[in-house]
């Protein structure tokens, strides 16, 4: 169970994973040793899975973001497993979710431009066996994007 200090640590690390133990301790009016021990426990218990740098997609030239709704022809376990294995091989796919509803998967794709997206769909995505239907939604404005989870 997380206490208020654990939650405060998680909030701070989500806002800036580069904070040092000393900086976190100062912000929480504690000493470094208990902060270090708590962070290690949070890591060991799986609350903190990794530390990453968040890149600016536009500065990286990835100006086109697309959400694709994908439907498979067959829902046999072998086809689901194969799709999930295959989709992970495409670096353009930054997120993929198996969803309930009208479609089977929601994938988030980031590419440089429409030509690159067309190549992705026609040469890569279409090469996946058992692919049924693909519907694309092109992002016009990114209103909110965060990897931070609500910590309450």
DSSP code of 53?
Answer: P
Which ranges of the chain have pLDDT less than 70?
none
Residue 97: closest CA among 117, 110, 80: 80
What pTM was computed for the model?
0.88
The pLDDT value recorded for residue 133 is: 96
Query: Mean pLDDT score of the chain, rounded to an integer?
Result: 96
Enumerate domains of the chain plus CATH numbers: 4-44 (1.10.10.10), 64-138 (3.30.70.920)
At 135, which helix (H) or strand (E)?
strand 131-138
The pLDDT value recorded for residue 38 is: 98
The pLDDT value recorded for residue 139 is: 97
Q: For residue range 73-86, what is the model confidence (pLDDT) as tens digits?
A: 999 999 999 999 99
Matching residue, tokens 């799986």? 46
The pLDDT value recorded for residue 98 is: 97
The pLDDT value recorded for residue 147 is: 87
Q: How far apart are CA 70 and CA 125, in angstroms?
A: 10
- Are 72 and 83 in contact, with CB atoms under 8 Å apart? yes
Q: What size, in residues, is the chain?
A: 152
Residue 54: closest CA among 83, 94, 97: 94
- Are 84 and 98 in contact, with CB atoms under 8 Å apart? yes
The pLDDT value recorded for residue 51 is: 94
Q: How far apart are CA 122 and CA 142, in angstroms?
A: 26
Q: For residue range 56-67, what is the model confidence (pLDDT) as tens digits?
A: 999 999 999 999
- Are 133 and 70 in contact, with CB atoms under 8 Å apart? yes
Alpha-helix runs per DSSP H in 45-146: 77-87, 114-119
Q: How far apart are CA 128 and CA 82, in angstroms?
A: 8
């Amino acid at each position: 169970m997380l206490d208020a200090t654990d939650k405060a640590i998680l909030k701070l690390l989500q806002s800036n994973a580069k904070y040092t133990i000393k900086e976190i301790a100062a912000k929480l009016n504690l000493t470094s040793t208990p902060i270090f021990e708590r962070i290690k426990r949070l890591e060991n218990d799986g609350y903190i899975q990794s530390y990453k740098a968040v890149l600016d997609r536009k500065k990286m030239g990835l100006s086109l973001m697309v959400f694709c709704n994908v439907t498979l022809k067959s829902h046999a376990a072998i086809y689901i497993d194969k799709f999930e294995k295959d989709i992970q091989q495409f670096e353009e796919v930054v997120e993929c979710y198996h969803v309930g509803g009208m479609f089977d998967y929601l994938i988030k794709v980031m590419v440089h431009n429409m030509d690159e997206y067309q190549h992705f769909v026609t040469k890569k995505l279409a090469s996946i066996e058992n692919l049924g239907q693909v519907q694309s939604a092109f992002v016009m404005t990114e209103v909110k994007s965060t990897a931070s989870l609500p910590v309450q």
